[in-house]
Structure 1
């Protein structure tokens, strides 16, 4: 089935409304840009004055066309856009592009942007923009933009940038970046970013997708498009902005984009196999490395350099950033030792700079070929002091140009200095299939991102979430119509499979003895009065009660200060404490969190998130990424705790959160005590929708 955006990106005719012959005008700039890509399809200029534009006759109105255009490029201002879009639809246009910021209102007071979205929706018309730069298809030469494309060389990266400025900064800056598509969706009047990702992933010529994202207006569509790209083996690299509150506010004011929860987006990107990055430099360097179409195998990168000092810098950076350097095996080291001059150490990174004799480039060649052949090396990089105006050794430069021919692994040339003057050199290497990366940290980030993506794709985690019993879900949805206390919250968790501490509700001193006999000492006594959610803050928790006398005294104190209703619990043995939590993200639904619990929060300020529901494999991976997992594994002679039980409890918690998403606002389970033989939830608070609504009122 043809993709909805085929008409836009594979169209063979364009009608450019607002083109102009007036020098210096936007319309003149637009007309020149449209012709700059060498598009072989039909291009018609439309201007109310008619006449001639750049040697082509101009029509007075789009209705004068003798055909229905595939693409209507509307280079006109807001007050005329409503009529122009309707006219294009009436003529049978199959897609449209709008550049205007679409501020202001129509004659009846409707915001122009809303009206244009309604028109596009009613006609099911893909519209790129507004407040964007349009698009460029470098393969077909279609330029629906006011930026010229005559300098662009087709390549493997599809760039999708919500920001028009990012579209131009990244797309027009450096010839080493070769693009398949360039798109500026802007306000997404008639197509959302997920559609552009899905379309790009379907193209054989797209090897990597670079996304500068402000928001996902179709969250489920984003998930589906990212998974489709992952399944096709196309890396999607995303720089998501709006990660802070102020940045999110600016994103809303910029394109009307609600930036959403950063934690939710990060969880979605990981779940769907996308590569999340924090800057445009990391975005483009990672995309550049991914766009060769080669995928790294297991292992780490092998680096060849011409500097002992830079070799040491790269070892430091790799350790500090978690970038996997290949650990050279004995066979590889022995081969290097035999092939290298005695003053050079067979290491990774490998310094091949011997004396400047006729043998100098041959040392590099031997080093590169041996690392390329080593099974522990997944990618190959070469560094040498070469710039556009200086190549100190032509033989080494020849090795750089030949990199892609000496190995089928991903390979690249790099400089440790981020400001190296090598645009022309990078362009030349790009023609030979060799990415050129500047900056040791940028290179390390790109390598780490690509290797992690490939490793996770190979692992292909099988992680089936447990299905919630339908009758149980219906029961608890009804129960959540009333407020929940700790006892009810623990009962809910237990019903979904989460192990919980034994507990009994008591309303008087007379019932305490029976509860104690049932549970057995030692015990914990907590207030269970309605409205007290944070018991410890009010002295409402008394631990390690070992006798009936101690229990009665503790009850008298709590009843006097806070009220007679209490919860009696079996004291849980010593263990490592975790905390589970859940909030309902407005875009992506229930978002589950795991972190250190209890007093460990003071020592480990860290959290991991995932969308619910998920299975034990993902739960285990989340816990493993916490530093506190080292304590669970056992340190200083202590026996390891049952991480598997903790993972199963977290997965079952996620099942409950997903099943009750429309009825629960948030959930907090803290602590979950992980012992040598299991994991048990000790305290919980589930906030039902009804309570949250009353609190707001």
Structure 2
């Protein structure tokens, strides 16, 4: 391979190279096919790769029956993919030689780099420099490789593909894993269950190619129908967000098994919002916003692949259940309610249609209990499924069966035919029996499960994705063009000029009020008499607090007094507050008096800075349980009013906000607008603002949320 051919080589991206590879070089290839350095070549031939394989081994004229070459520069052409199976000490030079030869992609298996500590990180940086200086892309190091079953490109040393139990299927499911071992386990399990994960990529240490970019490539390539990922952490939050957004726009469902619930940095201690908005909560909010479905286990991840492999999507949350067990129908209904699915009541005309075809003792409501009579007459099952799918209120149908081994083949054929004739999703739960129906139905593209709970979780995930996709297409909500940013910036710049980091409560409220967020009526005071006069003018009852740049969290110091109903009570409260402040060495001892608002709802609203994703906004149910059982929703800022509404709707305690037992509810439109305005403020001034806490917001008689306490924390100045 001469220099001119190398310079003319087309440099493809990773996914393009995998799916279009015609030539693969293996540097360090071994004659021993059972060794890690020999498996890639053996796998390529075992699975029928039709392209050209170039073993590179200077010590042998042939490797596993193929002509071997002494170096990559001696190859007759520029390979589409180079697999490097050398030890860590030889990787830098090998990557440089491959890049200089014009190769587009190197897959590096070797470990012993950044995962090993400081010295390993230095060695990895040298590999990165070699790649960047020559233009080659690197997958790894510490990667188990990549697989494209569609064209038999098996560039891996995983033992998970060293088997004879299954012939790989490619259902255009792409799977990216940051864990090589777990990725290999999941790939093997998926193929064993006829879940056609056709493209698998292990990102390893991500010295160059990282999970977000690989996900984006799978979306952009145009063939991916479902995208799965095993995620341990993300360094480029913007790229990861863009990949999720692109997948939703392209109509590609995403299933993620995200592990590692990391702690926040030390700066969160200054912010209640930052403490609640731990990075895992940020991931949850990001997934919700972009329709990505989070799996809690390997089983959940594969179930997401099952349900999303079907091209049919529900248009709503209405579910019709056809079952031969009344008890199972009750179980599935209970689970459905917890998941937000609607097992709706069939109206009389549609029940009448069922009564025409079902035994007189069958239940024709929903769930539809066809009873064990189907064992003698399969047309009962066929008619029930057909009518369930024809019902206009059915968005997806679920069939629950069990055992029935003598009838398995006939039922499978019936269900596959019925599913093919409908544009609505049909899911099957088959409990017990030989296990054959799951294989047959899954192979035929009909999502099939062995546990009712798994079926319902998959059905709910399908609804959530479809609803997010519909909302994205209908709303395209824009973030508010918030007036007042300039005024808020001026207030912050004034504070920065004094060297303060935490703004006092009054200044903090002025900052958020500048962008249109309602705040409680209040007045500053510098003495007991000033405070008492202000309280009288405002009208009792009132709240009196210490106002000090030195005390960001007043309740912890005990310098808040509520329910003050006369002048004497105010004066007594002031004396107590000032004594406590003095005893703690507080020199800035101002006071603020506020009109007291009494209601049963406390709302937390705030923003913070996530180390990976940047500015985030949080809304949650406040009160004494907020830190014990947090009920919050987090999104990346800024958010539209439409997305803010979805944040409110996603709160577990949303019914509390809507008023229960005659209690006052919040104006959700006004709350959503407050969320959007605060998010725009924090995003616009992210260079200055570290966090904002409005805790709590209370609700006025007209339902409008009002901030009664506020804390703005600024970023420390960098000298």
Q: 1:404 to 1:66 in 2, by over 3 A?
A: same
Answer yes or no: is 1:646 the counterpart of 2:671. Answer: yes
SS class of match (1:658): helix
Instruction: Quote how far apart the aligned CAs of 1:681 are.
Output: 0.4
Answer yes or no: is 1:171 the counterpart of 2:187. Answer: yes
Equivalent runs, 1:81-96 vs 2, <5 Å: 81-96=91-106
Cα pair 1:310 1:416 within 8 Å, conserved: no
Answer yes or no: is 1:348 the counterpart of 2:357. Answer: no
Match of 2:398 among 361, 374, 381: 381
Partner of 2:168: 152
Equivalent runs, 1:189-204 vs 2, <5 Å: 189-204=207-222
Cα pair 2:492 2:511 within 8 Å, conserved: no
Partner of 2:153: 142
Instruction: Quote how far apart the aligned CAs of 1:110 are.
Output: 6.2
Match of 2:479 among 446, 461, 465: 465
Using the alignment, how far apart are the partners of 2:389 and 2:535 within structure 1? Answer: 69
Match of 1:553 among 555, 563, 572: 572
What do the CA deviations read for 1:424-470 (whole angstroms, capped 9, x no partner)?
A: 54443344222322322211111110111101211224432223455
Deviates more, 1:639-648 or 1:56-65: 639-648
Instruction: Quote how far apart the aligned CAs of 1:170 are.
Output: 1.7
Cα pair 1:8 1:94 within 8 Å, conserved: no
Instruction: Quote how far apart the aligned CAs of 1:500 are.
Output: 0.8
Cα pair 2:29 2:63 within 8 Å, conserved: yes
Using the alignment, how far apart are the partners of 1:23 and 1:596 within structure 2? Answer: 60
Answer yes or no: is 1:454 the counterpart of 2:466. Answer: yes
Using the alignment, how far apart are the partners of 1:137 and 1:552 within structure 2? Answer: 77
Cα pair 1:344 1:354 within 8 Å, conserved: no
Using the alignment, how far apart are the partners of 1:617 and 1:458 within structure 2? Answer: 13
Instruction: Quote how far apart the aligned CAs of 1:589 are.
Output: 1.0
Q: 1:96 to 1:386 in 2, by over 3 A?
A: farther
Q: 1:550 to 1:427 in 2, by over 3 A?
A: closer
Partner of 1:682: 708
Aligned length, in residue pairs: 674
Partner of 1:308: 326
Instruction: Quote how far apart the aligned CAs of 1:304 are.
Output: 2.5
Partner of 1:292: 310
Answer yes or no: is 1:131 the counterpart of 2:156. Answer: no
Instruction: Quote how far apart the aligned CAs of 1:188 are.
Output: 1.6
Partner of 1:48: 58
Q: 1:201 to 1:67 in 2, by over 3 A?
A: same
Using the alignment, how far apart are the partners of 2:449 and 2:236 within structure 1? Answer: 34
Instruction: Quote how far apart the aligned CAs of 1:280 are.
Output: 1.3
Using the alignment, how far apart are the partners of 1:18 and 1:414 within structure 2? Answer: 49
Answer yes or no: is 1:277 the counterpart of 2:295. Answer: yes
Deviates more, 1:96-105 or 1:370-379: 96-105
SS class of match (1:590): strand
Using the alignment, how far apart are the partners of 1:120 and 1:139 within structure 2? Answer: 28
Cα pair 2:173 2:226 within 8 Å, conserved: yes
Q: 1:156 to 1:351 in 2, by over 3 A?
A: farther
Cα pair 1:575 1:641 within 8 Å, conserved: no
Partner of 1:228: 246
What do the CA deviations read for 1:591-642 (whole angstroms, capped 9, x no partner)?
A: 2222222446489642221222113322233223334432332222345432
Match of 1:401 among 416, 423, 427: 416
Q: 1:531 to 1:94 in 2, by over 3 A?
A: same
Using the alignment, how far apart are the partners of 1:538 and 1:399 within structure 2? Answer: 71
Q: 1:572 to 1:316 in 2, by over 3 A?
A: closer
Match of 1:4 among 1, 13, 16: 13
SS class of match (2:343): coil
Q: 1:561 to 1:308 in 2, by over 3 A?
A: closer
Using the alignment, how far apart are the partners of 1:414 and 1:155 within structure 2? Answer: 21
What TM-score, normalized by structure 1, do the two folds share? 0.90
Partner of 2:126: 115
Partner of 2:655: 630
Cα pair 1:416 1:439 within 8 Å, conserved: yes
Equivalent runs, 1:259-274 vs 2, <5 Å: 261-274=279-292
Using the alignment, how far apart are the partners of 2:287 and 2:625 within structure 1? Answer: 28
Gaps of 5+ in 2: 1-9, 265-277, 583-588
Using the alignment, how far apart are the partners of 1:116 and 1:372 within structure 2? Answer: 57
Using the alignment, how far apart are the partners of 2:118 and 2:231 within structure 1? Answer: 33
Instruction: Quote how far apart the aligned CAs of 1:222 are.
Output: 0.8
Answer yes or no: is 1:542 the counterpart of 2:561. Answer: yes
Instruction: Quote how far apart the aligned CAs of 1:376 are.
Output: 1.7
Q: 1:270 to 1:394 in 2, by over 3 A?
A: closer
Deviates more, 1:301-310 or 1:645-654: 301-310
Q: CA RMSD in A?
A: 2.9
Q: 1:673 to 1:454 in 2, by over 3 A?
A: same
Using the alignment, how far apart are the partners of 1:58 and 1:669 within structure 2? Answer: 68
Instruction: Quote how far apart the aligned CAs of 1:356 are.
Output: 6.3
Cα pair 1:185 1:191 within 8 Å, conserved: yes
Q: 1:543 to 1:565 in 2, by over 3 A?
A: same
Answer yes or no: is 1:62 the counterpart of 2:81. Answer: no
Using the alignment, how far apart are the partners of 1:343 and 1:370 within structure 2? Answer: 18
SS class of match (2:354): helix
Using the alignment, how far apart are the partners of 2:654 and 2:427 within structure 1? Answer: 36
Using the alignment, how far apart are the partners of 2:437 and 2:655 within structure 1? Answer: 47
Q: 1:666 to 1:675 in 2, by over 3 A?
A: same
Q: 1:657 to 1:327 in 2, by over 3 A?
A: farther
Q: 1:513 to 1:107 in 2, by over 3 A?
A: closer
Gaps of 5+ in 1: 247-259
Cα pair 2:485 2:684 within 8 Å, conserved: no
Using the alignment, how far apart are the partners of 1:196 and 1:275 within structure 2? Answer: 18
What do the CA deviations read for 1:641-685 (whole angstroms, capped 9, x no partner)?
A: 323222222222222222222322322211111123222100111
Using the alignment, how far apart are the partners of 1:121 and 1:241 within structure 2? Answer: 31
Partner of 1:256: none
Equivalent runs, 1:175-186 vs 2, <5 Å: 175-186=193-204
Using the alignment, how far apart are the partners of 2:627 and 2:186 within structure 1? Answer: 42
Q: 1:157 to 1:545 in 2, by over 3 A?
A: same
SS class of match (1:471): helix
What do the CA deviations read for 1:17-50 (whole angstroms, capped 9, x no partner)?
A: 1221135322222210122332222221111213
Answer yes or no: is 1:29 the counterpart of 2:39. Answer: yes
Cα pair 2:536 2:567 within 8 Å, conserved: no
Equivalent runs, 1:5-20 vs 2, <5 Å: 5=14, 6-20=16-30
Instruction: Quote how far apart the aligned CAs of 1:74 are.
Output: 0.8
Q: 1:553 to 1:102 in 2, by over 3 A?
A: same
Partner of 1:325: 343
What do the CA deviations read for 1:200-247 (whole angstroms, capped 9, x no partner)?
A: 22344321111111112221111111111101111011111112559x
Q: 1:117 to 1:439 in 2, by over 3 A?
A: farther
Partner of 2:272: none
Partner of 2:267: none
Equivalent runs, 1:474-485 vs 2, <5 Å: 474-481=489-496, 482-483=500-501, 484-485=503-504
Instruction: Quote how far apart the aligned CAs of 1:275 are.
Output: 1.2
Using the alignment, how far apart are the partners of 2:85 and 2:437 within structure 1? Answer: 37
What do the CA deviations read for 1:355-374 (whole angstroms, capped 9, x no partner)?
A: 3675x211111111111211
Answer yes or no: is 1:586 the counterpart of 2:608. Answer: no
